Chain A
Amino acid sequence: MRSRSRTYSLTFSIYSLILFNSLALHASEYLISYRYVVKDSALYNESLSISQAMKKCSGSPQIALELQTDGNKNLKKIISQNSEKFTEYIHKLGMHVEYKDTTNKAMNKSTTIMTLQTTCFTVDFNDNFAKIAPLK
């Protein structure tokens, strides 16, 4: 009787360990997309979408970026605190440029859409900084 209860507790602990590990692995992976629109040489619209990955991303981490966190573990807040550094980093990773221009009766209208397509990033939170790297 005792041995049966021991095996049950052992299997339960193994399953819980696997579940915990799988959750922990996915917790540090985020899907990030960024897009901004420039109309007639002035910024018109900007959007940054951040979401935790629901399943494990494939690929190995590429060029990493370190951002100051001050103990904060909310990625959206960390990125908004270091927005200039982060946007410069994203531009280096690669941005899709879509430009349209119309000239009608010597009047010119232009629209530029810059997009970072949805990319999976791995994020390591430490005490005072977070390390972000895209997975490819």
Chain B
Amino acid sequence: MKKVISLSLFVALMTAMFVGCSTKETPKKESDKSIAVAKEEVLGKNTSLRLVALGQGVAPTTTISPAQAYALAKKAAVADAYKILAEKVKGVRIEGEDIIGNMMIKKSSIHTSVNAMIKGANIVETNFKDGLCEVEVELTLSHSQFTH
């Protein structure tokens, strides 16, 4: 009798485990789908595309007051946010360089650059905490802007 009970418990546990695994797998598939959809997002006719970027900046060490630190950190954060928007709109140029001598890597460096003009972006939110300023910037692109 004891053997039967232990066997049934074991079977119940195993089924519970498998069911648990199967329920955990389903949201992963959904998230994969959402990622795929986000990648395919394009600017169609009569539609607009909203781009959001979160920039971060810190104040220089030579500031004389918290107000000055905030103002300078905000400027750095805005520049960072604009850079992220530029990356999204126009893309990034990446160059890698490895120098190998005697079958060993002597020098390895990566250069990235962005060049763009950003017009009409809005600052949505600004946070300043522990010397770090975070600025959220949004840019709305519409199809009519690119018709010329």
A: residues with CB less than 8 A from B are 36, 38, 41-44, 46, 84, 87-88, 91-105, 112, 114
Contact = CB atoms under 8 A, between A and B. Distances in A.
Nearest to A103: B110
Contact of B72 (A42, A96, A98): A42
Contacts, number: 90
B79 A105 contact: no
Contact of A84 (B71, B86, B107, B114): B71
B58 A97 contact: no
A99 B57 contact: no
Contact of A102 (B76, B110, B115, B117): B110
B31 to A, nearest CB: 30
A38 B118 contact: no
A41 B117 contact: no
A85 to B, nearest CB: 12
Interface string B58-71: 11100000000001
Nearest to A87: B75
A92 B120 contact: yes
A96 B117 contact: yes
Contact of B57 (A42, A46, A98): A42
Contact of A42 (B59, B71, B117): B59
B121 interface: yes
